[in-house]
Amino acid sequence: MYSAKVMDHFEHPRNVGEIENASGVGTVGNAKCGDIMRIYLDIDENQIIRDVKFKTFGCGAAVATSSMATELVKGKSIQEAMQVTNKAVMEALDGLPPVKVHCSLLAEEAIHAALWDYAGKHDIQIEGLEKPKSDIHEGEEEEEEEY
């Protein structure tokens, strides 16, 4: 079901953990739907992401997308981090099964939520950053008509 890259990131997730006194923390998702991601960012005075950690409650794809997202933003500027879209995360993982695409959206949203927290704390504007949605599942789950 999953690509070798997804399995690798699930089995050996990168950057799991917490950052004390993080520059920004974002938590997205919904326990009701079975996935929650939390991303911690440590951002230096030049707006470079020095360190990043995550914690995720969710399926294999949720863990793998969080792990990959942290890899993609680590060492990058916050503007570069803004370019890490769900598509980029998916491509880096050699794709996801269609029912798991929402996990990659969650990863993108978690990065944005952490940046939003950072921006708020430091009273700065990040170009292109909007207030993160609290629940990416809204409007999802359109089942096919069965009969």
Q: Please state, in angstroms and as integers, the Cα–Cα distance from residue 55 to each residue in 25, 51, 58, 92, 130, following that order.
A: 11, 14, 10, 20, 23
33 is a catalytic site residue:
yes
Contacts with 141 (C-beta within 8 Å, 6 or more apart), sequence order: none
Which CB, 67 or 86, lies closer to another protein? 67
Which CB, 27 or 77, lies closer to another protein? 27
Of 5, 16, 30, 33, catalytic: 33
Give me the sign of the Cα torsion angle 26, 127, 85, 135.
positive
Distance in Å, CB of 43 to another protein, minimum: 20
Which CB, 5 or 55, lies closer to another protein? 55
Chain position carrying tokens 């708020």: 120
59 is a catalytic site residue:
no
Contacts with 93 (C-beta within 8 Å, 6 or more apart), sequence order: 3, 5, 6, 9, 64, 65, 68, 104
Distance in Å, CB of 135 to another protein, minimum: 11
Site residues (vs another protein, CB under 8 A) = 7, 10-11, 13, 16, 18, 27, 31-38, 54-63, 99, 137, 140-141, 143, 146-147
Residues annotated as part of the active site? 33, 103
